[in-house]
Amino acid sequence: MEAPVQIAASLNPHASAAPLMETPMVEIDRLSLWYGAKQALRDVSMSVPKHRVTAYIGPSGCGKSTLLRCLNRMNDLVDGVRTTGTIRIGGSDIGDPGRDVTELRKRVGMVFQKSNPFPKSIYENIAYGPRILGVKHRADLDGIVERSLRSAALWEEVQDRLGDSALGLSGGQQQRLCIGRAIAVEPDVLLMDEPCSALDPIATAKIEELMLELKNSYTIVIVTHNMQQAARVSDYTGFMLLGELVEFGVTRALFTNPRDKRTEDYITGRFG
Amino acid sequence: MAINTGALRGGRPEAPARPLAASRSRTARRILLDRWAARLVVLGGVLIIASILAILVVIVGEVWPLFRPAAAERLSASLVGGPPAPGDAVGVDEYREIAYTITSDSLQFTPLRVGGRYPAIPVPGLEGARITAVGESARGRHLLGTSDGRVVELDVKFQVEFKDGKRVLTPQQEFGAPVALDPERKRAIVRLAGVVTGSGPIVVAQVGPRDLVMQTVVEKKALIGAPRREASLQALPLEVEGEITAFRLDGRGDDLILGTSHGQLVRYDLRDKTNPRPADRSAVSTAALTLVQFLNGDRTVVVGDGAGAVSTWQLLPSPGGGAPRLTRIHEFERHGAPVVAASPSRRDKGFVTADAAGGLHLNYGTSGATLLRLADSGGLRGATFAPKADGIVTVDEGGRLSHWAVHNPHPEITLATVFAPVWYEGYAQPEYVWQSTGGTDDFEAKFSLTPLVYGTLKGTFYALLFAVPLALLAALYVSEFMHPSVKAYVKPVVEIMAALPSVVLGFLAGLWLAPLVERVVPGLFLLPLVETACILTALLLWRLLPLRLRQWVRPGTEVFLLVPVVIAGAWLAFGLGGLVERALLGGDYRGWLLSALGLTFDQRNSLVVGVAMGFAVIPIIFTIAEDSLANVPQHLRAGSLALGATRWQTALRIVLPTASPGIFSAIMIGFGRAVGETMIVLMATGNTPVMDTNIFSGFRALSANVAVELPEAPEGGSLFRVLFLAAFLLFCLTFAVNTVAELVRLRLRRKYRYL
What pLDDT digit, counting tens, does each position of B176-230 carry? 888 888 878 888 899 999 888 877 888 999 988 888 888 888 877 767 777 777 7
Residues 6+ positions from B573 with CB-CB distance below 8 Å:
B523, B524, B526, B527, B529, B530, B531
Q: Which of B137, B144, B179, B141 is nearest to B157 (CA)?
A: B141
Mutation site for B-interface testing, chosen from A68, A75, A79, A148 by largest number of B Cβ within 10 Å: A79
Contact B644 A182 (CB under 8 A): no
User: Chain A contact for B643, CB < 8 A?
Assistant: yes
Helix (H, G, I), strand (E, B) or coil at B381: strand
User: Band of the pLDDT at B746, cuts 50, 70, 90?
Assistant: confident
User: Chain B contact for A78, CB < 8 A?
Assistant: no
Q: What is the pLDDT of residue B342?
A: 92
CATH 1.10.3720.10 fits B449-752, yes or no: yes
What pLDDT digit, counting tens, does each position of B621-644 carry? 999 999 999 988 888 999 999 998
Closest chain B residue by Cα to residue A115: B635
- Say which CATH class B72-435 falls into: mainly beta
Q: Which of B312, B305, B197, B178 is nearest to B252 (CA)?
A: B197
Could you give the dihedral angle defined by the CA atoms of residues B128, B129, B134 and B136, in that order, rounded to the nearest 10 degrees?
-60
What pLDDT digit, counting tens, does each position of B117-157 carry? 788 899 988 888 899 999 988 888 899 999 988 999 999 99
Note the pTM of the prediction, 2 decimals: 0.82
Examine the pLDDT at A227 and tell me if it is beyond 50. yes
- Let me know if residue A115 belongs to a domain: yes
Question: How close A38 gets to chain B, by Cα (Å)?
Answer: 20
Q: Residue A58's domain is classified under what CATH number?
A: 3.40.50.300
User: Band of the pLDDT at B720, cuts 50, 70, 90?
Assistant: very high
Contact A118 B640 (CB under 8 A): yes
Strand partners, B179: B151
Contact B643 A103 (CB under 8 A): no
Contact at 8 Å (CB) between B471 and B618?
Answer: yes
Q: What is the pLDDT of residue B309?
A: 93
Mean pLDDT for B288-294 is: 92
What pLDDT digit, counting tens, does each position of B551-589 carry? 777 777 778 888 999 999 999 998 888 888 888 887 788
Listed by start position, the domains of chain B span: 72-435, 449-752
Please report which residue ranges of B545-631 form alpha helices under DSSP H.
Answer: 547-550, 559-583, 589-592, 606-630
Instruction: Report the distance separating Cα B215 and Cα B202, nearest Å.
Output: 6
Domain that holds residue A213: 42-267
Helix (H, G, I), strand (E, B) or coil at B519: helix
Contact A119 B755 (CB under 8 A): yes
* Burial classification of residue A251, based on how many CB atoms lie within 10 Å of its CB (0-12 exposed, 13-18 middle, 19 or more buried): buried
Closest chain B residue by Cα to residue A76: B555
Examine the pLDDT at B7 and tell me if it is beyond 50. no
The chain-wide mean pLDDT, for chain B, equals 87
Q: Which of B263, B256, B273 is nearest to B240 (CA)?
A: B263
Question: How close B605 gets to chain A, by Cα (Å)?
Answer: 44
ipTM of the complex: 0.88
Residues 6+ positions from B674 with CB-CB distance below 8 Å:
B459, B460, B463, B464, B467, B613, B616, B617
Between B562 and B81, name the one with better pLDDT: B562
Closest chain B residue by Cα to residue A70: B642
Examine the pLDDT at B5 and tell me if it is beyond 60. no
Examine the pLDDT at B536 and tell me if it is beyond 90. yes
Question: How close A62 gets to chain B, by Cα (Å)?
Answer: 21
**To the nearest whole percent, how much of chain B has pLDDT over 70?**
96
User: Chain B contact for A196, CB < 8 A?
Assistant: no
Q: What is the pLDDT of residue B62?
A: 92
Contact A106 B754 (CB under 8 A): no
Q: What is the pLDDT of residue B587?
A: 78
User: Band of the pLDDT at B537, cuts 50, 70, 90?
Assistant: very high
Q: For strand A189-193 and strand A108-111, is the pairing parallel, antiparallel, or unpaired?
A: parallel
- Let me know if residue A239 belongs to a domain: yes
Contacts of B547 in chain A (CB under 8 A): 97-98
User: Band of the pLDDT at B497, cuts 50, 70, 90?
Assistant: confident
Q: What is the pLDDT of residue B269?
A: 87
What pLDDT digit, counting tens, does each position of A112-154 carry? 988 899 988 999 999 999 998 888 899 999 999 999 998 888 8
DSSP state at residue B272: S
Q: Which of A220, A244, A195 is nearest to A266 (CA)?
A: A244
Q: What is the pLDDT of residue A1?
A: 36
The total number of structural domains that make up chain A? 1
- Let me know if residue A37 belongs to a domain: no
